[in-house]
Every structure is written in C-alpha cells, then in structure tokens.
Structure 1
Amino acid sequence: MLNTKITDKTPMVDILKKVGAEVFVGNDTTDPYEVAQALIKELYDLENTYTAAIKEVRTKLEILNDEFQSTHERNPIHTIQSRVKSPKSIVEKLDRKGFDLCVESARENLDDIAGIRIICPYIEDIYAVKNLLKAQDDIELVRVTDYIKKPKPNGYRSLHLILKVPVFFSDHKEMVKVEVQIRTIAMDFWASLEHQLRYKAVDSANIPESVARELKECADTIAETDVRMQDIHNQVIR
C-alpha cells in the first residue's frame, strides 16, 4: 500500500514528469502515476535509510565526545547538526547532474544525501574528531577533502569526510554513505553568513567582485583569529 502522503497531487509527481519520459516506461496498460508513485515510495524508504545512518553517526559522536570530556576534561565538539535530503531534492540533484533517476543511482552517485556538520571550538579539535571517527572499526573512511589546509578560492574552510557506516535492519546490514563536515565555530560563522548573503543576493550566481573580495578578506581574517585562539588555548591548557 502506498504511503498516504503519496497521491497524484504530490508535487514530486510533477517533478518526475518534467525530468523525462523514461520515468514512466511501461506497457500501454501501466498508469504513469502508479510508476511515479512507486518511485516516490522508494525514495521515501531511501530517506528513512539515510536517517538511520545519521542516527548511527550522531550516537558515535556523542559517546566519543563524552569520553573525551572524561579523559581530557573538555569537549572537542561544540554542536552537531544533521539533515537528510528530501526525495524532492534527490530527484532535482540527479536530474541536474545528468544521472539516472532511480534509487540505485542516488545511492551510487550522491554522497551528500545524509549530512552531518560538526562544530568544534578549535582547529586541532577538527582533526581530533576526524581521528576518533577513523579509529572506529565499523566505519569506512571513503574520502577526505581538506578545505582548511587548502581553502576554496572564496575563502571557505572546512574538513569534509565521506564515511560509510553500518545500518542494521531486521534482516540485513547495509553500509550507507554519510557526508561529515567538521569546522570551527569561526569557520561556521563565516560560512553561514556567506551562504545567506549569496542566497539573498539579487543575482546569487554573479555577486559583485568587490563583495566577493570583501567576503574573502573576512574569511582570511577569521582564519587568522582561529589560529590565534588555538595558540592562546595551547598556552593556557596544557
């Protein structure tokens, strides 16, 4: 039985119709809405799988943070934020990237369906958290992208990890990809405001060069402050 949220009035159906006729492949007796609804149902099931993966990683992080507090008398994690892409967002990204529109394609080609953002007090905490995660024997580290040591041209800094974590169901185990972004409070402050400014801009794709330059200068100033705060911390906390 289809989820009660999934009807022929669901906006997702309209999105699927716009993506391409291949979604509705079937014989003459196949109702295209039934085909679309079946895919939508699979996408909602996929959302549940990635939500479970988020829970697995969050639980590990909370345990590791508590243990660090016990052994070092402080927490390397300030806050944890998480989100799972909606079926609508998954469909739109698959279409935008030119990938096949199916659940298998989403699993294979999209690394950011499940996302966790870890905010740390200090730069050294970022790498400590990465190493704590890497040391977990049931986590597979797929890829590391270090935008702290090598910032993006616009000044963005963060450490990005792609992990595979086990999700246990009643009859099987599944390894699920989770994107983890780790950054300091200062890095998150800049990234959040920069994103907001670009989103609110009249032409977000082409903001004035002078504004982009100012944002980059702010990022560099914040990065310098991050380093100074780390140095102060190291002098005070032995």
Structure 2
Amino acid sequence: MAWAVPQHTRETVNAAGRELISPDGWDAGNITFQALQAHHDALAVVNNWRAAHAYPLNTFQATLRLRAQKVDKRCIFATRTKRLESITKKLRKHGDMKLSQMQDIGGLRCIMQSTANVYALCEVYKSKKLSHELAKVNDYIAFPKPDGYRSLHLIYRYQGANRIGSYDGLKVEIQLRSILQHAWATAVETVGIFTKQALKSSEGDEDWLRFFSLASAVIAEKEHGAPIPGAEGSAKARDEEIRELGHKLNVREVLNTYQKMLRALERQSTKDAKFFLLALEPAEKRISARGFLTRDSIVANQQYTEMEKSLADKPGAQAVLVKVDSISALRKAYPNYFADTTMFMQALDDYLPEIPAS
C-alpha cells in the first residue's frame, strides 16, 4: 500500500486551515474565481494533511491491539481519520486553533470492559515506553467534562526510525474508555445525528444536554468514578431531575425509534446516496427508507417536509432526513454497537419511564 506523505509545511497547513473557514469571497453569493481557487487549493492541502496521518495510525494500532488484548481479551478497536466536516467545525469553534496542532486528526479508540482495565492499559503505555513521544495525557475519567464526557486520552507525537515521508511530529490520539462510557457516547452521537444537534460538542437543546450530563453522573456512580461537574448534588435530587427529563424528552421511546431507523438503514445500499429520508409508523409496524443523490437535496428536503405533515396525526410516527456520511461516521466510530443504545438504556433502566404497550 502506498501511504500518503505530508507534502506541505506546517505554515502552509495552518494557512489552509484558516482559508477553510474564511468567509472572504463567499458572502452574499459574491463568489469570485480567486476565492474558489483559494478554497480549492486549501482543500487539497488539508486533505493531504489528513491522509498523511494514516501511516502513523497504522503503526500505533498494531501496538494498541497487542497491548490491549493482554489486559482485556474482549476489548474492541476502532480507527479513524477525522472527517473534513469535523475539522472545519472544530476550527470554527476554536478560532485561534492551528490546524497543524489539532491533536485528534488521527484517532484510535479502545473500548474495555471496565474502568479498571482502562487504567491498567494506560499504565502499560506509561511504563513500557514507545519510540514515540507521549505529549499529553487527558484523563476525563478522573476529571469529567461538564457535559458528561468520560474517557482517557493519550496524545502521541510520531517519531519514526525511517525519516522518509517526514511523518515526525504528526499527532495520534488514543482514546481509552469503558464499555459503559462508550454506551453513553453512542447514545449522545445517535440523538445528535437524528436531531441535527452537535450535542457531543455541548451545543443544542438544553434539556438533552442536561439529561446526558445527569446520565453520565449515574454511570460514573456505577463505576465508582469522579462526579460530573454541575451534577454533584444529592443523589435524590439528581434522580428526580433525570426522571423528569426522561419523561419530558420521552427518552426511551426516542432511542428505540432511532435504533429501529438505523437498523432499517443497515438494510439499504448507500451507493451514490447522499441523504436518506426515513419514516417510522409504529401503528403499521412499517419503516420506509428512500435515498437521494446530492443533486436532489432540494427535493429531499421538500419530501421531508411533506412527510412530516402526513405523519403529524399518527401516534409515535416520525420522519427524519439524515446524511449518509453522518451514518457512515457513526458506523465507523461505533462498529460493534452501531444502532445499539440498549446498554445505555439498561444502565438507566430505573430512571426512564416504560413505553406504554400499544
């Protein structure tokens, strides 16, 4: 396999990142040829920078598999290069961030059966040095984020024996998390995709954000972990609030619905399709799915609006328009639990109202 190599200086990469999110020349439909050319050139630089992380990722994943399986034979792996859309969103969110310093363009994930195994594997990495530089350890299990995110990140700078290709200095992020932490992340990602909200970036509906923060607090308690900032009050008050939100958001039924829709997508061919319009009609026990090409995006949105109107009077019926690349990203990020929010609901079984029998 021919691996992509970095073809540009870090200064050029950073400039391309700035161009990627620059509004110049794109306002009010006033797109100039120069602006188009600059954007095209920037995309080429950014895509090369992304692709160049594949070789370091491959190097790290072999070691990760070997080490992790000695700690936990049931561990699960996923590898990914950050999507262009995600890179753009992150650069926009953190206006002063340099693209060359983004530490998670190349990412590995290992899901362990317990938090104890997560820390055991982390100690293996700390005690058995690699030729690469361990630049940083971010322990979001000991110090969870306010939104409820819990995971342990090891950030490495690649240092290769072979100087050809100049991969040195490229960053690779290894995420270690427990299976319950992963179940929480799966649910956040799933709801975010279907509601078109960046919940995993702490953006979107305040009720959903609060629910997931409290849900993480429940899971952290089950794992004897550190409390979630903003959810440190009495267990009784927390439990009452999460039950209220679970009822208000209809969480159990919503997650069941999304799970059914994702499973319906699994049976669809995504070849050439850019969007899928999904319709769930529980009373008829029917799920329909239709794909749309990129050029048909206007038609897809029109039919989505019409479908919503037609289902408005049907109890439990729902229509949703999803992007194929979002679903593909979900499948890659959560390969063994794609479409499965069952474990998350089991962890919160005492807090979520049962779905009434139809």
Q: TM-score, normalised by structure 2?
A: 0.47
State the shift of 1:79 in Å. 0.8
Cα deviation for residue 193 of structure 1 reads 0.3
Corresponding residue for residue 141 of structure 1: 134
Deviation at 1:171, TM superposition (A): 5.2
8 Å contact 1:57–1:165 — kept in the other structure? no
CA distance in 1, matches of 2:212, 2:175: 21
Number of residue pairs aligned between Structure 1 and Structure 2 = 196
Give the one of 103, 107, 128 matched to 1:111: 103
Post-superposition Cα deviations, 1:146-188, rounded to whole Å, max 9, x if no partner, equal 2212222233221122221235453545121112221100110
Is structure 2 residue 56 aligned with structure 1 residue 64? no
Q: In the alignment, residue 116 of structure 1 is paired with which amino acid? A: L
Aligned to 1:163: 156
* Deviations, residues 185-232 of structure 1 (Å, cap 9, x unaligned): 0110012102322443376534244x545433432332333349xxxx
1:193 aligns with 2:191: no
Partner of 2:46: 43
SS at match of 1:56: helix
CA distance in 1, matches of 2:42, 2:89: 14
Q: Secondary structure at the match of 1:128?
A: helix
Matched AA of 2:81 = V
Mapping of 1:1-238 within 5 angstroms? Answer: 19-21=22-24, 33-66=36-69, 68=70, 74-75=72-73, 78-99=75-96, 105-108=98-101, 110-134=102-126, 135-167=128-160, 168=162, 170=164, 172-201=166-195, 205-209=203-207, 211-227=208-224
Q: Percent same amino acid at aligned positions? A: 23
Greater mean deviation of Cα atoms: 129-138 or 51-60? 129-138
Task: Give the conservation status (yes or no) of the 8 Å contact 1:19–1:95.
Answer: no
Partners of 2:148 and 2:85 lie apart in 1 by 30
Deviation at 1:145? 1.9
Runs of 4+ off more than 6 Å: none
Indicate the SS of the match to 1:182: strand
Give the distance between the partners of 1:161 and 1:17, measured in 2 at CA.
28
Structure with bigger RCO (C-alpha 8 Å, 6+ apart)? 1
Q: Tell me, which stretches of 5 or more residues in structure 1 are unaligned?
A: 1-14, 23-29, 229-238
Q: TM-score, normalised by structure 1?
A: 0.67
Instruction: Give the letter for the 1:193 counterpart.
Output: A
Q: CA separation in 2, counterparts of 1:149 and 1:17? A: 35
- How far apart, in 2, do the equivalents of 1:17 and 1:183 lie? 32
Is residue 24–residue 35 contact of structure 2 (8 Å, CA) maintained in 1? no
Specify the SS of the correspondent of 1:154. coil
Q: Tell me, yes or no, if the aligned pair for 1:133 and 1:139 is still in contact at 8 Å.
A: no
Query: Does the CA contact (< 8 Å) of 1:201 and 1:207 recur in 2?
Result: no
- Return closer, same or farther for 1:34/1:123 CA change in 2, 3 Å cut-off: same
- The one-letter code matched in structure 2 to 1:54 is L
Q: 1:21 to 1:206 in 2, by over 3 A?
A: closer
More helix by share: 1
Structure 1 residues 93 and 224, CA, compared in 2 at 3 Å: closer, same or farther? closer
Once residues 107 and 18 of structure 1 are traced to their aligned partners in structure 2, the CA distance between those partners, rounded to angstroms, is: 15
Provide the aligned C-alpha RMSD in A.
3.4
Deviations 1:9-45 (A, max 9, x none): xxxxxx95872449xxxxxxx9665544333222222
Deviation per residue, 1:83-125 (Å, 9 max, x gap)? 112345434533443248xxxx4113x1121122210111111
CA change 1:148–1:91 in 2 (3 A) is closer
How far apart, in 2, do the equivalents of 1:188 and 1:125 lie?
14
